[in-house]
Amino acid sequence: MSEIRLVVYGAEEKCASCINLPTAYETKEWLEAALSRKYEQENVKVDYVDIHGSYGDEHQSYVNAILEDEYFYPLIVFNDEVVGEGNPRLKTIYEKIEASR
């Protein structure tokens, strides 16, 4: 069984340009549910990193990029590649996962 692992970066409050969108944590839950349905035979793991909380050094560059307004959050990363930000598109994420196989 293979593993699909993504990281969702964000904060409890919504970003200024994402007023009508779900929070980053809600996006993490939605993404995890959608991926688990599509890839039910695989181990799907979606981690959430709060940009204002504690996190490991491996997340520092993405957190800094968000805090410096290089990216909107929620920011979704798969295999160290940004696959979505702000209002992520599930189709794009699926395409990146399929391309990595």
Query: Cα–Cα distance between 85 and 99 in angstroms, integer?
Result: 19
When the pLDDT of each residue in the chain is averaged and rounded to a whole number, the result is: 90
Side-chain half-sphere CA neighbours of 87 within 13 A: 6
Q: What is the pLDDT of residue 22?
A: 85
pTM of the model: 0.90
**What confidence category does residue 2 fall into, taking pLDDT thresholds of 50, 70 and 90?**
confident
What are the beta bridge partners of residue 3?
A: 43
Q: What is the pLDDT of residue 14?
A: 66
CA distances for 64 relative to 50, 58, 93, 97, angstroms:
12, 11, 23, 25
